[in-house]
Structure 1
């Protein structure tokens, strides 16, 4: 109405209490209505009420508006200039190549579970990539590889961690300023932003770690609604997240341990509740076994099922698998045209049937201790040093290639002669180099020089294709080799030799080997004998569960072999103590002035603040324990629960994700700390939230404003290491606060 627009309002239909009226002049308008002039103070009051209404709406819908805003900034920090560097950067050389294998459907081997790498392959498929690029480190991407799309695909997992952090903090019952602080710390953590921008597994690992914590926190909040649909849904989602994070990297097992500890405590408390019926307690146990054990295992196994299903062609990782598995791959040479039955004079490769087993191998290098004779190992790479001849024992006439064929039979005593060096497989009463309880196995002598310690008795264990176990057959016959003089069995376990043995698998003669010990079982993988006809191609399937265990043990064995080499300097490697104090970063590529450079380094406030909070949280818990012991009863049950689940559990999560790297001997890098860092951020949020609760609102918001500004400011300051440093690295010398931060050579 015009009158209202000009600072007037009519009295018709108005509540006298809406506005405070003055005794002012009025007049009648053309319609005969009384019009009152509104006081300026009333106009101001209307504006305040309108403003207050907007704030109430924002406050009411903050749980939707805030994460949307944070996610928008997350997308910017993770995606801006993501395709700036056109070269293969850091571990893109590994994981991009693994993605290529999925697109070419070639079997490969890696120490990590397959889910993350299958997702990398999916990103390549969606990008229209055909898998032909080799992803050599430092190489420029060709035009046919849409690396920008593949990086964006990975970066989205990193962007999702920001709203996940927001909702996790809400579920942990933090006040709004603390929720925003933790979300901002993850958003502005430079290392998280950097590592999310490349074709790596870490953004997926972090994403599924965050979902696991969120689902656990939400499930805990629903304890008062046990067995409701929502309760079951979040229990299922927790198990699903555990399965996913473990299927990307085994680091996910530490998140599993955290949820497992919570579950054990929760069930123990329910067990102590005498009012709870036993049937209800049993239902809780069954539900958790199904949701937190069965579902994660099914997800983990399903990722391997897809892995085997997709990788149907022979590839570079064949040798890590059993002979039967390899024989079923398309394009394989294993079993191809191999004669069926083994005869004296046959040239063979012999595969250990233990999980992760390799091929019986020797080379000219000798043992540095013990007998000093030629080394015997098991080795996964296929070369001529894996070839052996079956020869008669020394009590029999020398092998005559023109004599009638003599097939190797069960209980027969034979010699195994190394094809490349002509030495005999040999054992003696000398302790093995690593497993001292076993005897050393070596290569000794030649065709004419030797003794009875070169003799091995063949003992057939089983045959996958025939009930006739009288002879040794290619691929299908499992047999043991018993040393005739010592009574021990040829064995290859999961122990790796030191560097002098090239980290290959130690092979020994085990004194007390059980007949069921699969590491003493062997089979012939390849077989060459020109006097025998090629065998008929038959499809002997390898059971999935056996292949699943076999590959996982092989992954574990190879992972344990990733130890630092004292003879080499790895400028990228770092030690566990350096991570929480931000002592070191990592150059992700060449530091040439002509290329775009990236440096993995965290936000100083996030790192140092979160590390300090670990000690502060411990002191808070200790303080209240002492006061409780002294008889002070100042904490309500809600306060105790807040300390317990929002402070102590994140602290335990940090320990679970950090301490294993303190104890393990494998080579480590700064990005191994990133899952633990998230729990440290949660702990820091708890400390700030708890310590600012007694403050009045103005002071509290003042403290948070300083933390917000510092977090954002430091991210912006160090943003060149995230978005790419172009030009001479000396231009970024101002970021090198310490000598160990090798951002610049200046």
Structure 2
């Protein structure tokens, strides 16, 4: 029964004396809990929330024997985590990516990843300390490490963090009311939990993440039992905040940990409000202190690590193509235009960049739609190229600028002539080739030599005032500053683009259409380059991209990370549904070589016990709530009360780290369950504690049975670990042993890898078998990225050939002056950029390799999937268009069909349509298409 303050002191003193007087046996009989205290209020009893000194002493003061137990746990975990760490001596699983990221930090080359930077920077720091100079590229699974790559040291780092997680698990259980022997047994289960061992032995983000989450849980449990507003209370609160910041800065899963701490803070505040001994002012002080520390400190750390990230990655590379031009302008070696003429007018040669996506520039080339009008293609292309250049003509065939500068104003009607092919931007009543929606029409390039154009070539410039800074840029079009829309004069449709990609015949470049519905921001454009020969010196105004502030970079990179993460929807053979994780339905193949393999799978005994414990607690909690509603007393014993409270808080942590995955539409894998599993193991520890501390504690015989049950769990888990250790360490195993170990038919480790007998490993050379395994997620894309430099050189050669031999003569300009004398357009002033140097990118796997996992995604920005190479993000190379640089592919994202608001804002202009003559287009031989394997992405 609950006791009041007056009759507790004697019992606490007796318990303390007993605790000190016993020898080894006391570790079995230590009572880590004290009676909770109720006081009588005017209308109801209330729980005292302030911890007693005896409780703090019981859970924080360790004796010599307990330190010996902890030391034994550390020694065992060192052996389990560090055993045979040099093997495999080749790249395993996502070491492809995180080793590659470490290399890029050392070389300073920019890349985009879907995870925050802390864990990756820590690997880079370890590699740098080990003397790594970036000379090994971590290209693909199975690549042998040279002697210059300190891969052992890089693997030791997560292994040591894995050892630290064991210590934190033990300390967390002790501070939440579990006796030393049970805490040690539970921590031992974590030591031999196969999946946790596997992820802590390789250059992966999971081990640092789980260590920081474990540190957060331990610091919070220590904070819970401190006397409020003492120095220890503040120290524990600060430690919790720092650990939260480190977890959040390693992976976005840390957001779930932030949510867990926030939920428990609200839970504690509820009890504080009910404690009548706590003044209202103190309740407010609790709320303010917790909000300040638990939100402010993690955010400051998170921003700080991104600031370091930006300072380290200063060199332009293929990974920066997914970022805005303003962002890339701050990188060393960038090719972003500078010193641009601000005043745009008739006679300007410009490039138009799309605002709503990172698809790039309005682009055309001498290739044609295979359906619809079969006219020249219009696309978005992410790199600077001469095919992005457009000449602004008046909509009539007589000039109105006559050697004088006529600015482009809001409402000006113009035509845009493609400089390289001479055809004009055009739209008409044809369905687009891919987005066959009624509210979208085809945009094309149309014309031929001597043809002066027709009314379907006319576009009205509209300046978007709420997106354009106040001032002159809202009246006349300014390069870089004015956000504009191009309205088709005949139909009222607006030039539009979304994430939809054209098929291979369009070289996977982004589709451009004309639309009268859809999301308005997808009709926004701005002029990035501009030259106009009629601008007088006194009228000239030169602009360049302004350097972005830290906050602007921070906001932009998060928009890109989020969009990339959302785009990871391609199917992968080793992906799994969250509903299958608690039953351990399948694992992930990490590495297969030399008749051995590394396969990620959990310890089924521990895994299933955790799932059973959570289901059991849910049933138990339901029964207890019903009993309480019927007026019965519940949880009157201190051990049961502590079990209810602690198991509940850990199950909340399990749920917050597990259930959100059900609403994610992206690719998911078993290792996403590991943070939730950690909370589940803590729940299991409390089940063991209530078993020996309450259920069987009424007699010595029953308690021995309880301890024997715990030992049975440990032994069974140990046997599973030993039996499946070959899948952790890549050690020899026989085919029969492998087949007999498939408890579930869905466990898909490949037994064909293994020899018939162990002796064959020593009597015959190992052969890398071409096992039919599936490549790592996004391996195909990364394979193409490795080939990017070769493709670029091929493209440049093709471009030279086109320019020297196969280039069709450009049509003569049709603009004339008032005297009917031809006026040639100004020469193309757009800088022709040769594709930037592409650093050899990493590839996660070969086709026969094991699948990679979550982090592979990180290398491939979701929006960089075009036909040409995108700067630095690993992505799929696309077929080459007219010697255009190969763009990394991005997962196809369908245009959103949701109609936000009609875009048509004025009645359709009735003008006679000049019938388009049927032109026999020259047959252009299709360029060789780079075959694109199906993207297999993973988070």
TM-score range, shorter chain: 0.7 to 0.9
Structure 1 residues 262, 141: CA separation in 2 closer, same or farther (over 3 Å shift)? same
SS at match of 2:272: helix
Find the counterpart in structure 2 of residue 158 from structure 1: 162
Find the counterpart in structure 1 of residue 383 from structure 2: 382
Find the counterpart in structure 2 of residue 682 from structure 1: 682
Q: 1:433 touches 1:440 (CA, 8 Å); kept in 2?
A: no
Q: 2:639 touches 2:690 (CA, 8 Å); kept in 1?
A: no
Distance, in Å, in 1 between the alignment partners of 2:511 and 2:190 is 42
Find the counterpart in structure 2 of residue 697 from structure 1: 703
Q: 1:375 touches 1:442 (CA, 8 Å); kept in 2?
A: no
- How big is the alpha-carbon RMSD for the aligned residues of Structure 1 and Structure 2? 4.1
Find the counterpart in structure 2 of residue 20 from structure 1: none
SS at match of 2:751: coil
Q: 1:216 touches 1:238 (CA, 8 Å); kept in 2?
A: yes
SS at match of 1:597: strand
**CA shift at 1:190, angstroms?**
0.6
**CA shift at 1:492, angstroms?**
6.4
Q: Check if 1:229 corresponds to 2:231.
A: yes
Quick check: 620-629 or 57-66, which moved more?
57-66
More relative contact order, 1 or 2 (CA 8 Å, 6+ apart): 2
Cα deviation code 1:334-371 (max 9, x no counterpart): 125755555656665444456x7442456779799x99
SS at match of 1:132: coil
Structure 1 residues 396, 240: CA separation in 2 closer, same or farther (over 3 Å shift)? farther
Q: 1:111 touches 1:555 (CA, 8 Å); kept in 2?
A: yes
**CA shift at 1:525, angstroms?**
3.9
Distance, in Å, in 2 between the alignment partners of 1:280 and 1:685 is 34
Q: 1:573 touches 1:669 (CA, 8 Å); kept in 2?
A: yes
Paired residues for 1:302-701 under 5 Å? 302-336=304-338, 341-342=343-344, 348-353=350-355, 357-360=358-361, 381-382=382-383, 384=385, 387-397=388-398, 408=408, 411-416=411-416, 422=423, 424=425, 426=427, 439-440=439-440, 442-447=442-447, 451-452=455-456, 455-459=459-463, 472=477, 474=479, 476-483=480-487, 485=489, 522-525=525-528, 540-565=546-571, 570-589=572-591, 591-593=592-594, 596-636=596-636, 638-639=638-639, 641-692=641-692, 693-695=694-696, 696-701=702-707
SS at match of 1:424: strand
SS at match of 1:316: coil
Structure 1 residues 336, 577: CA separation in 2 closer, same or farther (over 3 Å shift)? same
SS at match of 2:597: coil
Structure 1 residues 289, 531: CA separation in 2 closer, same or farther (over 3 Å shift)? same
Find the counterpart in structure 1 of residue 139 from structure 2: 136
Cα deviation code 1:238-279 (max 9, x no counterpart): 222222212111111111111121122333443455664343
**CA shift at 1:445, angstroms?**
4.4
Q: 2:24 touches 2:65 (CA, 8 Å); kept in 1?
A: no
Q: 2:473 touches 2:482 (CA, 8 Å); kept in 1?
A: no
**CA shift at 1:156, angstroms?**
1.9
Find the counterpart in structure 2 of residue 79 from structure 1: 82
Q: 1:75 touches 1:159 (CA, 8 Å); kept in 2?
A: yes
SS at match of 1:178: helix
Structure 1 residues 453, 181: CA separation in 2 closer, same or farther (over 3 Å shift)? farther
Distance, in Å, in 1 between the alignment partners of 2:641 and 2:671 is 32
Distance, in Å, in 2 between the alignment partners of 1:675 and 1:542 is 36
SS at match of 2:712: helix
Quick check: 498-507 or 181-190, which moved more?
498-507
Pick the aligned partner of 1:93 from 83, 93, 96.
96
Q: Check if 1:245 corresponds to 2:247.
A: yes
Find the counterpart in structure 1 of residue 721 from structure 2: 715
**CA shift at 1:584, angstroms?**
0.8
Task: Looking at secondary structure, tell me which structure has more helix per residue.
Answer: 1
Distance, in Å, in 2 between the alignment partners of 1:281 and 1:741 is 52
Pick the aligned partner of 1:67 from 53, 66, 70.
70
Distance, in Å, in 1 between the alignment partners of 2:286 and 2:247 is 24
Structure 1 residues 430, 507: CA separation in 2 closer, same or farther (over 3 Å shift)? closer
Q: 1:357 touches 1:492 (CA, 8 Å); kept in 2?
A: no
Find the counterpart in structure 1 of residue 853 from structure 2: none
Find the counterpart in structure 2 of residue 19 from structure 1: none
Distance, in Å, in 2 between the alignment partners of 1:661 and 1:655 is 10
Find the counterpart in structure 1 of residue 178 from structure 2: 174
Q: Check if 1:147 corresponds to 2:148.
A: no
Distance, in Å, in 2 between the alignment partners of 1:688 and 1:191 is 22
**CA shift at 1:599, angstroms?**
0.6
Distance, in Å, in 1 between the alignment partners of 2:428 and 2:290 is 51
**CA shift at 1:188, angstroms?**
0.7
Distance, in Å, in 2 between the alignment partners of 1:306 and 1:287 is 28
Q: Check if 1:104 corresponds to 2:110.
A: no
Find the counterpart in structure 2 of residue 277 from structure 1: 279
SS at match of 2:104: helix
Distance, in Å, in 2 between the alignment partners of 1:149 and 1:303 is 23
Pick the aligned partner of 2:217 from 213, 217, 227.
213
Pick the aligned partner of 1:299 from 291, 298, 301.
301
The total of aligned residue pairs comes to 678
Q: 1:733 touches 1:743 (CA, 8 Å); kept in 2?
A: no
Q: 2:109 touches 2:315 (CA, 8 Å); kept in 1?
A: yes
**CA shift at 1:744, angstroms?**
3.1
SS at match of 2:483: strand
SS at match of 1:598: strand
Task: State the TM-score, normalizing by the size of structure 1.
Answer: 0.80
Structure 1 residues 75, 351: CA separation in 2 closer, same or farther (over 3 Å shift)? farther
Q: Check if 1:197 corresponds to 2:201.
A: yes
Structure 1 residues 444, 198: CA separation in 2 closer, same or farther (over 3 Å shift)? same
Distance, in Å, in 1 between the alignment partners of 2:158 and 2:533 is 53
Distance, in Å, in 2 between the alignment partners of 1:365 and 1:608 is 58
Task: State the TM-score, normalizing by the size of structure 2.
Answer: 0.64
SS at match of 2:548: coil
Q: 1:432 touches 1:441 (CA, 8 Å); kept in 2?
A: no
